[in-house]
Amino acid sequence: MYDIIIIGAGPAGLTAALYARRANKKVLVLEASSYGGQILNASKVENYPGIESISGFDYATNLYNQVKKLDCEIKFETVVKIDEERNVYTNKNEYKTKTIIIATGSKSRKLKLENEGKLIGKGVSYCATCDGNFFKNKIVAVNGGGNTALEDAIYLSDIAKKVYLIHRRDEFRGENKYLTEINNKKNIEIILNSNIIKINGEEKLESIELENSNNEKQTLEIDGLFIAIGQEPKNEIFSNIIKLNDKGYIESEDGVHTNIKKIYVAGDARVKTLRQLTTAVSDGSIAATMAIKEMED
Ligand code: NAP
């Protein structure tokens, strides 16, 4: 019997593990893919108090190592179900625990176009810092208008020959400091008021088709397409017992309590106003503290 099972090894989950292990609790962290979560995709983190600048990869690795040094058990298994008795079922095992912290974060939103899934790893990517290096001196496009898309375009402009930055509206929601940098880059071409309507290619990505607000179409021949159109939750597996809002995020009372006693939520998976590293680690520390306080009630 564990004291706390934490589902997800991103910043929220690992921070919860850090607090729980420092309180000497028996902890298991379950992670479906790799540690770090979405922050792994950030080329630079410069808004985390006390750290002037760090890559997302280095930040996540430091946190992971910090938790591992506390002898925290971390298993790479996919959780498929939990129940009200706090049994946790994975693709490999079944565990019992006094408390659960859900820290499953969010996943990249898809364009939901034909060929998109088929061409992942063959030109289509959701992570510029992971895959950008495959496109040295090639032609790539970034789709999106938030900070991720702007950062990706800047990052890729130092690797690729040409970067198209495609956004569906006439203004970006990302920060001005990135836009200033983009405007100074000679190899970034901005295409506004346009949606990608088709992704073409059989063995690998060959081209994309765009349609603008005047219904005019154009085809761009590109080698890489980086889709950066935001995130969405991955909480479907909890919907049998946990209350989700209409967008699939977990409803939480006073931050981290879900509708089920002794099951908590931390980080991007929950309904919140700001999804950032700072708020994820804050949630992780509060969820662990609450779980420790309430586990014997
Ligand atoms: P985001 O801010 O939600 O932006 C998503 C963008 O994708 C929006 O411009 C949106 O267009 C567009 N979009 C959504 N669905 C689309 C669709 N189906 N087709 C085409 N375009 C679509 O997501 P994000 O850029 O991943 O950022 C997430 C959060 O992380 C934000 O709070 C961001 O500030 C933060 N972040 C911070 C940093 C940093 O501080 N260094 C870096 C990266 C991200 P509309 O604008 O028209 O809605």
CATH no. for residue 200?
3.50.50.60
Which residue of 45, 147, 172 sits with most ligand 1 atoms within 8 Å of its CB, as the best mutation to test the pocket? 147
DSSP H or E run through 224: strand 224-227
Q: Is residue 118 part of a domain?
A: no
How many domains, the chain? 2
* DSSP helix/strand/coil, 176: helix
Instruction: Tokens for 150, please give them.
Output: 């702007």
Q: Among the options 3, 131, 223, 283, which is catalytic?
A: 131
Which residue of 229, 231, 247 sits with most ligand 1 atoms within 8 Å of its CB, as the best mutation to test the pocket? 229
Instruction: Decide if 131 is catalytic.
Output: yes
Is any atom of ligand 1 closer than 6 Å to the C-beta of 146? yes
Q: Is residue 115 part of a domain?
A: no
Is any atom of ligand 1 closer than 6 Å to the C-beta of 168? yes
223 and 238 in a single domain? The answer is: no
12 and 38 in a single domain? The answer is: yes
Residue 97 has φ and ψ, to the nearest 5°, of -150, 155
| Ramachandran class of 138: left when φ > 0, alpha when ψ lies in -120 to 50, beta otherwise | beta
pLDDT, mean of each 10-residue run, the chain (297 residues): 98 98 98 93 87 95 98 98 97 98 95 96 92 95 96 97 98 96 97 98 97 97 97 95 97 92 97 93 98 94
Closest ligand 1 atom to the C-alpha of 111?
18
Instruction: Decide if 72 is catalytic.
Output: no
Is any atom of ligand 1 closer than 6 Å to the C-beta of 150? no
Q: Is residue 113 part of a domain?
A: no
Q: Is residue 119 part of a domain?
A: no
> What is residue 297's predicted lDDT score, i.e. its pLDDT?
83
Q: Whose CA is nearest to atom 45 of ligand 1?
A: 145
- The domain boundary, picked from 227, 242, 263, lies at 227
146 alpha carbon – ligand 1 mean position (Å): 3
15 and 65 in a single domain? The answer is: yes
- Residue 98 identity: K
**Residue 215 domain boundaries:** 124-227
Is any atom of ligand 1 closer than 6 Å to the C-beta of 173? yes
Closest ligand 1 atom to the C-alpha of 167?
21
206 and 222 in a single domain? The answer is: yes
Q: Residue 157, Cα to own-chain centre: how many angstroms? A: 23
